[in-house]
Each structure stands twice: as C-alpha cells, then as structure tokens.
Structure 1
C-alpha cells in the first residue's frame, strides 16, 4: 500500500503563512478526514499533497520519493484530486467528463471508450448513481448532480491516492452518505483517501482517522473519538460543543457561541 507524507511542511499565500511545520503521514487502506475552521489550511494542505502548489519549506513524499521528483504523467496516474466546488468550463457530456479521469492512463477522448478505460468510466458512474447523468451536458446539471459526476471522474482514475476537498458540500443527505461510503470503499481497496469536511458527523461516522487543523497547525490527530472531543474542537473553533451517541458512534454537535 502507498504512503503519502509531509516533512516540516510550511505553506504561504503570498507572504502570509497558512501552514507551519506540518509533519504527518497518510497510509493506504485508511480514510482520513481533515477538519477545522475556515482558514485553517485544509484546502492548502490538499493542494500541496496533490503537488499543485510548491511548499515554502519542507516537502512531500510518496512512498519515500519526493513528490516533486515524480514525473507528471506518473503522478497523475497515482494521485486523483477533486477540488472544492469543482466546475466544468465547457458543456461536456457527463460521461465525457468522467472519461477525463482516464487521460493519465492514455485514454483518447477522440474515440469511444473501450476496454479498461470504458469499464472504469461505467463503473465510476454506477458507484455514484450517475448513469442517468452520463448523456447530459454538465452545464445542465444541478450543483449536486455535477458534484456526483466530478466524484466519478476521480474514481475512474483508479489512483493510489484520492484527495477530495469538501466532496459532499453540495449533496443532499442521502447522496452525502453515499459519497462517503464510496470513499470509504476506496480506502478498503487499499488507496490513501484524504477528505476535507465541515460535517463533523460524517467524519465521526466514516473516517478511520481525523486530523484537526487550526491556526495552520495540526492540533489533533487520531481516531474520531479522540480527535473530535469537545475540548479539542472548542479550542479549534472557539465555540461550544456537546456530544450525543447514535448507534454507538459518538457525534459532536455545535452548541453555543461560548466554548
């Protein structure tokens, strides 16, 4: 299984520090939820893990090799990244958008999918219940429908590392549960799966591990019951939390403006 790790990672937006001294390793077979308040650095961390941005200091390694030294083609096959609120800027059909996930494997969009590429696309559409969206232009889809097709695109890559930034933000509760179950299954096949979330309930229910970011630093890292303790979250978010237990899963609930 793969391992994605950071060494003393520091990230800036211009001259403003966003992440400082992040030392963390993500293992295959594990779904990690990244949570924290707005501006904590969740998106910045995911973009650096995807190799899209250059660190101000430190580095990122994939299976012990510097990410920056891995050829772009190989990196695209091994790491699939779903940006927050991902958009399509031209009216591709849903199926063709999902086929973009096969480009790192040499797929040719100029001819119909076949073989492994076609199978991967169709399976990805089925997994997110988007077969009915495959023949529709993506600019005619609702935000939630488009989010499902975008998720299918990264599933079609069949990557070793799956990075998803707020993948359930525009989904209704049923599809949000489905999306998290699909991402959980990706971890089950051995992928490194890292998902940023604002929904702490989904993090508690689906994640093997939760990393809490605040002020550009990792303030908690562990199983959901340890990382999502009210004392940890109150310090990170500056508000009060309460807990309830549902089917044996401890859930944290934002409760008051006062910690």
Structure 2
C-alpha cells in the first residue's frame, strides 16, 4: 500500500484557511518535495498525509481507502513520518532510538529483538553513516547527530510511504546532501516519498516533482524546472529570484525583497 491521494482537502484553524480544496495524488517511485513560504500549509498537509489530523472537508486515501478509516497499527506499518525537529526526551542509545522504528512490526525493546528487526536497524543506521553513534546516549549527541538517527528510525520502519518534514534543517552540508540522496534512493527503489524543504536549491537538485504551496492552494506542481519558474516562486515568496544553472540544474536564488 503506497499510493496516497488527497481529495478536495480543506483545513481551517481559528478562522484562518490553511488549505483549501487541495487535490493531489502521489505515486511510488518518485521523490516529491513540498515548498512554499512560512504558513503556506506544508507541515499541515504532511500531517494530513500521515493521518495525524482530520480535515474539515475532503479525504486522504491510501490505495483508494480513506486513511483515517484504517486501523492505526496498519497506518503505522505503511506510513513512516519524520516530524520537524523530531527528538526524544529520555537517554536512549542511538541503537534503541532507531529501534523505535520497528515498533509497528511488533518489536519490544524490553526483550531481545528479532534478527529481522536488528537487520533493519543496522541497515538504516548504515545509510545515515551512524554506526559510531549506535552505542552513545542521545543526550550526549549534537542536534545534527540526533537528526541523522531520527531519519534512520524512520527508515527502519521499512514503510512503503515515507513522509519527512525538514529532514535536513539541523544537518551540515555534507550530511544534508547525504540525507537527500538517501531519500531519493528510497523513492527510486519504489517507495512513495514526500518531503518538506525550505532549501529550494536542494529541492531543485533532488526532487522528481515539486509542489509549491501558497495562499492555501497549490501554486505549481510538476518537475523542478517547471514548478520553480521565476513567475511562480516570485509570486509565492514575494521575493525577486535569480536563476542560475549548475551542472544542468536550474537553481533559484532569492535575490531581492519586493
């Protein structure tokens, strides 16, 4: 189960419209990036896709079935969600933090884990270059080190749908590039991967598809070169952008306040 669809979705809070009439479908095999100015509804849309919020109107569907009608345990196995600035509030080791990703599959951290769980954890840790962190307590780690393990925890679920909200925000450039490579590879192996980013350069470089949200609606939806056209991003962000091409990838650069 890895095809998500949003049908006429509406979200309002305290009289403010966050999302209005959103119609989108997400297919496996592609890395989709949600971009847009602060308050455009990116995180709200991602939370609806994870089944964490009930829309005021409309539905989110997983393989044609209403997402909120599915058992929570089934959703947890099929949709892995990495929230913005995810953290843990007790001194787990890095290994045990990543092992939390196996809970939807019946793992019990109070008992020895199954070989299949340990293999999923090992593989996820290796993909974020986190082997040296596995035996350390997370309260001794930097924010960036914890962020890498949080991504590994999400990967360890082995869910066919992966949702990540600003997964590179705490990472230095090298690990930010690594995280985007991991997410793109996950998509190209057949997962449905949807990521919120503020960095338009990373979005342009790694995304297969970019959705621009602005004023509670979809302002653009398509491949990076189409979705990030000057007239689209200038209007969405209220900034004059310049576009430069690096290794064949068009990069929008915020240049002047309007």
Partner of 2:30: 30
CA contact under 8 A between 2:29 and 2:187: conserved in structure 1?
Answer: yes
3-state SS in 1 of match to 2:195: strand
3-state SS in 1 of match to 2:162: strand
- What's the CA shift for 1:257? 0.2
Partner of 1:158: 158
CA contact under 8 A between 2:2 and 2:78: conserved in structure 1?
Answer: no
**Structure 1 segments of 4 or more deviating over 4 A?**
none
3-state SS in 1 of match to 2:84: coil
Instruction: Return 9-18 or 205-214, whichever deviates more.
Output: 9-18
- Provide the C-alpha distance between the structure 2 equivalents of 1:90 and 1:117, rounded to a whole number of angstroms: 22
- Within-5 A mapping of 1:106-255: 106-255=106-255
- What's the CA shift for 1:13? 2.4
- Provide the C-alpha distance between the structure 2 equivalents of 1:239 and 1:247, rounded to a whole number of angstroms: 25
TM-score of the two chains, using structure 1 as the length reference: 0.98
- Provide the C-alpha distance between the structure 2 equivalents of 1:215 and 1:142, rounded to a whole number of angstroms: 36
- Provide the C-alpha distance between the structure 2 equivalents of 1:112 and 1:14, rounded to a whole number of angstroms: 47
3-state SS in 1 of match to 2:168: coil
3-state SS in 2 of match to 1:186: helix
3-state SS in 1 of match to 2:85: coil
3-state SS in 1 of match to 2:186: helix
Give per-residue Cα distances to partners, 1:42-84, cap 9 Å, x unaligned. Answer: 0000001000011011000000000011111111000000000
- Provide the C-alpha distance between the structure 1 equivalents of 2:114 and 2:134, rounded to a whole number of angstroms: 16
- Provide the C-alpha distance between the structure 1 equivalents of 2:121 and 2:27, rounded to a whole number of angstroms: 26
- What's the CA shift for 1:139? 1.5
- What's the CA shift for 1:41? 0.4
Give per-residue Cα distances to partners, 1:4-27, cap 9 Å, x unaligned. Answer: 010000112233221110000010
TM-score of the two chains, using structure 2 as the length reference: 0.98
CA RMSD across the alignment: 0.9
CA contact under 8 A between 2:10 and 2:56: conserved in structure 1?
Answer: yes
Give per-residue Cα distances to partners, 1:90-128, cap 9 Å, x unaligned. Answer: 111111010000000011111232311000000000000
